[in-house]
Structure 1
Amino acid sequence: MTSAWHQHPIQPVSNARTQAARDQFARLAGPPGSFGVLEELATRMAGMQNRLDPRADPCQITLFAADHGVCAAGVAGMPPEVSPSLVRNAIQGGSPSAVLARALDTRLEVVDVGLMHDPGDIPGLIRRRIAPGSTDFRATPAMSDQQLHTALTAGREAVERAAAQGCVLFGGGEIGAGKSTAAGAIACALLGLPPESIAGPGSGHGTPELLVRKAAVIQQAVDHHQRFFSTPLDVLRRLGGFDTAALCGAYIACGQLGITAVVDGFCSSVAALVAVTLHPPLKSWMIFGHRAAEPGQFAIFHTLDKRPILNLDMRHGEGTGALAAIPLIRAACALLHESTPPTP
């Protein structure tokens, strides 16, 4: 690779400030831990920001748009031809992620890192297209070394834009066809699990035939590439896509720049798994927004010893789960620095 920025160290989280936040909660009315997940969120935010009055705003959601060559295997619930319309709808404000971002006063941007079909002139679309979709990874690597580096860097650039706006929370998401199959292949390779336990419905209808086909394709790809795996980036390059790589780069940049990463659903969780496998301290900078209706995400939670904030049975992707978690993070921060102990 031409640059090794992704190898730079991750900022430490202040354990002392985390404990001070716990002590502050202990002075409030109620038994220790009585605020549950809100207390956990608030104390973690205090440690990440090294302050007893942590903030949850401003925040940014970046959606990385890319299609996957493995769509040729008939595993996608939608064809790549649909992706440009999804991108257009998100930028023009009509998609679920755009609606949630607007309601939550959250900055939303869309980055084209690898759509197969040019969405045309859309004001506001950030163009970082690496190629018209990744390669079908059943027999060849999904991307080259240079393409992987470019995708990782596109993720870092998104976090740098967020930092320039003063953002303290960053959430990522993805738009495109074939993403859950690619994510499932990465998860199987990194976790050593059979594809039948990972393959889920994705954005399709989850018919038995589709799930069987996805599992078979994932197994074929892992069998073909596994002798070449030596690092998590090898797995990502051979089995992933430009969107997954960009998300991975974004999460690494969050830890390097001291910004909390709010992780979305299954595909985003797989990118987080790659990032944490590369940099274990990154786990402390991640908040998992929700438990998606995808079986593979359970294994990731178990491996990373993480629990999501919400269980909404969603599998839409596009950052919607990360967005849904933002109000609770805001509430947790307010609870910590605005509550006062009762007076005698």
Structure 2
Amino acid sequence: MTFFTRTALPLLAGVSALTMTAALAEPTQELIDAAKAEGTLTTIALPHNWCGYGDVIAGFKAKYGLSVNELNPNAGSADELEAIKANKGNTGPQAPDVIDVGLSFGPAAKDEGLLQPYKVSVWDSIPADAKDAEGYWYGDYYGVLAFGVNSDIIADAPTSFADLTEAAYANAVAIPGDPRSGNSTMMTVYAAGVAKGGEAGGDALNKGIAYFKGLKDSGNFVPVDGTSQNLAQGTTPIYFDWDYNLLAMRDTLAGNPPVEVVVPSDAVVAGVYVQAISAYAPHPNAAKLWMEYIYSDEGQTLWLKGYCHPIRFNDMADRGVIPQDLMDKLPPAENYAKAVFPTLDQQAQAKTAVADNWAKEMGIQ
């Protein structure tokens, strides 16, 4: 899979003048009216501090006057698919209209018949290798795996996966949750395997499991979920997550305690998250209008404000519509120069490996 970083400003191959026109398109009044008649959008797994979702949701409500029913903000990608399955015949408030999941979950959901296709008006400016050709799912933003460090507790921050094995970081390292159900955690294990020389796919994932088993055996791994609260309190003074989550956490803590965000030098693994509409969405027009909003220049700019790299970054940069003050708040571009994007096949292999081996190797249920 070939993607781009914010250093790659030229348009991707194949993006034409037609795309430039499409990038400025607006949803039809017919769609807006139909969505307003439904009145509500039901989302799931969208914490407000994730990728700037608080501002994104507020912007959507302010622009179109719809209410947003937010389900289980802390759910993982697998939980989102289960919510669709559990509510196939339900048009009530527990049935999600839209999902935001890790890249590998998009094709799986399509194969299970859980999604309906919809191509947003800016479809042509979304890179071809970041979307389903039929419009069942499409990438919206990406980031890289990094770790946050509580500088009050750990003055000399590690810079790599290799550093984290040192005795100085005993009882310090955590991950966001269970890699069998959360994409960010699975990709953290994958990145550790890349740092250990693992080949792509299942090999990298299994080497990552071996890495974390080593951290557990040495006492460096903390077997609780890494969160901003646990980091601030010192329970997990180092924990992994996507860079945009950690940068937002750093800003929220405002120096109490000071937090350093580190992109590990020995493995820079990027991950794309994708959007999709439930095949059983109770509010299908509101779902389509939501897609139009988050892929518009306005919505994509809000991703960047939340420290995510929007999928239409190159197109927007070429047209000069990205505010410079947002660019200035991002980490140095060289931090992303070595980023690799695991393919769908590689992620599928990783999902199989983590399901088969994580619990067995880590001694958990």
Under a length normalisation based on structure 2, what TM-score does the superposition of the two structures give? 0.27
Between structures 1 and 2, the one with greater helix share: 1
Higher relative contact order (CA 8 A, sep 6+): 2
